């Protein structure tokens, strides 16, 4: 039996100045949304909802890390 390998198209990350500026706006937006969800968590008591909110925070935090890796020092510009 032959092993089949698929070639995946890997998109090169755009680290241009325009992309950096767009990511700064997006980064700020994510940070604000995370803060809002954290506030919402303080008002919530149902465990299923709290878990869902935490999963959303975790997903957005991963995106923040991706942006920080693309543009080192971006968090200092916020």
Our CA angle for 25, 37, 43, nearest 5°, is 155
Would you say residue 3 lies in a domain?
no
Of residues 53, 70, 64, the one with CA closest to residue 15: 70
| pTM of the predicted structure, to 2 decimals | 0.76
* Structural tokens at position 18: 């325009």
Q: For residue 16, give the DSSP letter.
A: S
| Predicted pLDDT at 25 | 95
* Structural tokens at position 1: 């039996």
Of residues 75, 30, 76, the one with CA closest to residue 57: 30
- Give the whole-angstrom CA distance, residue 29 versus residue 58: 15
Number of structural domains (the chain) is 1
pLDDT digits (tens, 9 = 90+) for 16-47: 889 999 999 999 999 999 999 999 999 999 99
Domain range holding 40?
17-72
Would you say residue 77 lies in a domain?
no
Q: For residue 62, give the DSSP letter.
A: H
């Amino acid at each position: 039996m032959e092993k089949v390998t698929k070639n995946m198209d890997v998109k090169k990350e755009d680290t241009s100045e325009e992309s950096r500026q767009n990511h700064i706006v997006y980064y700020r937006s994510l940070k604000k949304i995370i803060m809002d969800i954290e506030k919402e968590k303080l008002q919530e008591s149902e465990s299923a909802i709290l878990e869902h909110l935490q999963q959303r925070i975790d997903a957005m935090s991963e995106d923040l890390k991706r942006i920080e890796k693309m543009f080192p020092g971006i968090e200092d510009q916020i």
